[in-house]
Structure 1
Amino acid sequence: MSVTFAESRLSAHAIPTASNFTFCSSHRKLHTTGIAENLHLPIFEHNTTQRFTKSLRSAFQRAHANGISNPIVVGAIPFDLTQPCSLFIPVESHFGTTPIVNQFSKRDPIEIVNRRSFPEEARYKQSVKQAIANFQLSDIRKAVLSRVLELDLNTQLPANTLFHSLQHQNPTGYHFSVPLEDGGQLVGVSPELLIRKEAEWITSNPLAGSTRRLRNADDDTAAALALQSSHKDLYEHRLVIEEINRVLQPFCSELDIPAAPSLLNTETMWHLSTLIRGRLSNANISALDIASALHPTPAVCGYPTPLAHKLINLVESFDRGLFAGMVGWQDSDGNGEWAVTIRCGIVRGNQVSLFAGAGIVEDSCPESEWAETQAKLQTMLKALPIQANAEAAQ
């Protein structure tokens, strides 16, 4: 399906741009061009979504009036819902069921000239210890601690090169490429679905509890089975599922949550996964309404969420921005698909920022949690046209 903004009826605020948004999942492929209207308001202001909801409704109405038959909003929403969004209504939107990219061509290797980790290894491990100590003195049961790896390259990296490489190396997942206002591009492949809404039906696929893939097939299978029986990881996963169940129950007349998690694998990681399906009591509730109620889940923040959020602000040394937020789309009928913004990076010319996090619970080991972030960074590092990718994460 293709939706086109009638050029002869462009409003004054419509600013076509060469920047494109792409979101690909096993469910559908979406590609957009141009910007009819930006929406940079935060989701939450003064503990309410009313201003954002009203602004989005008005933007859809203007798009309808200017020739878009079925307008959509696309982009990324930050981890902190009180920060401005990177959303817009595109000029043209194209939905399909076939891959947007079906060919991958390699390019000459790029050299890393400088790398910086925030925090550095010792500081990250100390933050894990600090979080564990906090658990013993408070009601916090889990906190997700993140890090950013900043790379300076010897030449500019086209964002579409990284995006196509991710598609080639990771055929499953939620592939996304989001133009940012400062000229950068948010690129990634998330394994985690926050919410999909189709009429009255919703789907969510939270992940919590992870271990890295191993090269030897027998060792890899053993690692997956160990994850599936890990007390620490099952506890971490249960905290996430119980909270998502609590949030979704008021929205749903039917809710199906499996009793135990299954295994989900990417090219670099094994995850504990629970596929949740439900039927809404009110089909007029939008995908963003539900996403905003769910986010941030304990999978990217912690539990209880408000306390974990405060702990993250205390011990993390950088602003997450769009990392661990949500990325996707929604149409004017409220249908849409939003993935959790993980396994991602931001490309700005010859600079690349990569992000990863690990869920900390009372049984966590600082060395293991650092190693988990290293493993998660490999998804993006392996997609870069750089020799000795593994070394870049050190």
Structure 2
Amino acid sequence: MPVLGATATDRAERPVAHPFVLSRPHGTVIAEGVSEHFDRASAAADALRTGQVAAIVGALPFAPDGPAALTAPNTLHHSPAHYDAPAADLPPITITGALPSEGEHVDRVETVLRLLRSDDNDLLKVVLARALALRADRPVTPHDLLVALTRNDPLHNGFLVDLTAAGGVWTGRHLVGSSPEVLVRRRGDRVTAHPLAGSAPRHCDPGIDRATADRLAGSAKNLAEHAHVIDAIRAALEPLCVDLDIPEQPTVTSTRQLWHLGTPIEGRLHDPGVTALDLALAVHPTPAICGTPTAAARDLILATEGDRGFYAGALGWCDAAGDGEWLVTIRCAVLDADGVGLTAYAGGGIVADSDPADELAETTVKFGTVLDALGVLR
């Protein structure tokens, strides 16, 4: 087992590889070993619900018909401390390409804006994403990337998922990142979520930074974008919950790079047999990473970008009691099986009054979570 919350002088040995790690402000979940693979979420949910497996960990894809990367671990460990363990220094990591180019991303945004502004269109929001190809000077391990990400995040958020269960091109690849967004969390009959939608970049000057947050809190564009997300989550959770509490207005929350509009949601389950994985499947994907209406936005995204794989999916865990936590798969990268190539992802919500240059700039800021943690020069 890794040392959690250890100091540098405590770090004597490197930990073994784990198929799944999730570090959060309230603690860490680590999976050891793999007893079964699932490339379909429905099969994993059934196995968990019927007691065939004691826990499920892993990642859900963005596209509903894409392969999942879910495993039943031999053991699931919980710790109240954040994740920290001995790690090697990362080699130089450089950007080798943009997928698509910045110019093409702007063109895509402009195309979507024309659609959003047309009279014969029902779409209200579409989330467009782009990627950066990275290359390390020598092979790196998923663990070393995870440690770098959790140490760079003030709240020690970080995750690592072995994607081998999805098969095919995903064999040997790993998903790593530091997501700030809770899709859904279950403890007993209590359900919580904290969707984020609407953002603005942080500033090194405290006065400007605070003014930026205040403008975000009053931005009609961002408030409308956030409302789409809340409406969709309400529709998904109301049939499953009693006493669903959703504040009328979002609050401003922050990461190291961005201010976000966020809404803390709480409720209690009607049926205690509904698991955290069931809840994640009911809520995912939200308009925060897809759009409104969801199905039409998803179809347009797939037609425009192609397969997103696990970016803008969900990752998390669920135990035999049904408890668990699932996060939105953002601020992330996929490490190739050779340990050298990486692909980092970032996206932004496009609404009718979006500005293409601003949308490009937003993705650039969001890349900072991964690039800054890994020491990538820009």
Q: Same fold (TM over 0.5)?
A: yes
Q: One-letter code of the match for 2:318?
A: Q
The alignment partner of 1:243 has SS state of: helix
- Show the counterpart of 2:289: 300
CA contact (8 A) 2:198 2:260 kept: yes
The alignment partner of 2:178 has SS state of: strand
CA distance in 1, matches of 2:134, 2:28: 30
CA distance in 1, matches of 2:156, 2:297: 27
- Show the counterpart of 2:168: none
Unaligned runs of 5+ in 2: 1-15, 165-170
Query: What are the superposed Cα offsets for residues 144-176 of structure 1, whole Å, 9 maximum, x if unpaired?
Result: 001111112322122222211111110326421
CA distance in 2, matches of 1:128, 1:209: 17
CA shift for structure 1 position 52:
5.0
CA distance in 2, matches of 1:297, 1:162: 27
The alignment partner of 1:363 has SS state of: coil
- Show the counterpart of 1:371: 361
CA distance in 2, matches of 1:373, 1:185: 22
- Show the counterpart of 1:118: 99
Query: What are the superposed Cα offsets for residues 182-227 of structure 1, whole Å, 9 maximum, x if unpaired?
Result: 2222111111001001111100000000111111111111111111
CA distance in 1, matches of 2:176, 2:269: 32
- Show the counterpart of 2:324: 336
Cα RMSD (Å): 1.8
CA distance in 2, matches of 1:33, 1:306: 36
CA shift for structure 1 position 19:
3.8
- Show the counterpart of 2:268: 279
Which of 138, 143, 160 is residue 160 of structure 1 equivalent to? 143
- Show the counterpart of 1:134: 115
CA contact (8 A) 1:104 1:165 kept: no
CA shift for structure 1 position 132:
1.4
CA contact (8 A) 2:90 2:144 kept: no
CA distance in 2, matches of 1:298, 1:344: 18
CA contact (8 A) 2:254 2:260 kept: yes
Query: What are the superposed Cα offsets for residues 8-65 of structure 1, whole Å, 9 maximum, x if unpaired?
Result: xxxxxxxxx9443111112331112211111112x3xxxxx4x55434446x42x4xx
Q: How many percent of aligned residue pairs carry the same amino acid? A: 37
Which of 281, 286, 299 is residue 310 of structure 1 equivalent to? 299
The alignment partner of 1:208 has SS state of: strand
The alignment partner of 1:165 has SS state of: helix
Query: What are the superposed Cα offsets for residues 295-346 of structure 1, whole Å, 9 maximum, x if unpaired?
Result: 1100000001011111112222x42101111101001222111000100101
CA distance in 2, matches of 1:320, 1:229: 32
- Show the counterpart of 2:9: none
CA contact (8 A) 1:39 1:56 kept: no
CA distance in 1, matches of 2:154, 2:125: 31
CA distance in 2, matches of 1:286, 1:160: 28
Which of 316, 324, 332 is residue 312 of structure 2 equivalent to? 324
**In the alignment, does 2:348 pair up with 1:358?**
yes
Number of residue-to-residue matches in the alignment:
353
Q: TM-score, normalised by structure 1?
A: 0.85
**In the alignment, does 2:46 pair up with 1:54?**
yes
CA contact (8 A) 1:178 1:186 kept: yes
CA distance in 1, matches of 2:316, 2:112: 31
Q: One-letter code of the match for 1:246?
A: A
The alignment partner of 1:250 has SS state of: coil
Q: TM-score, normalised by structure 2?
A: 0.89
Which of 46, 54, 79 is residue 96 of structure 1 equivalent to? 79
**In the alignment, does 2:249 pair up with 1:266?**
no
CA contact (8 A) 2:25 2:82 kept: no
**In the alignment, does 2:186 pair up with 1:197?**
yes
- Show the counterpart of 1:288: 277
Unaligned runs of 5+ in 1: 1-16, 44-48, 64-70
Regions of 4+ moved over 4 Å = 55-58, 103-106
CA contact (8 A) 1:132 1:360 kept: yes
CA contact (8 A) 1:328 1:339 kept: yes
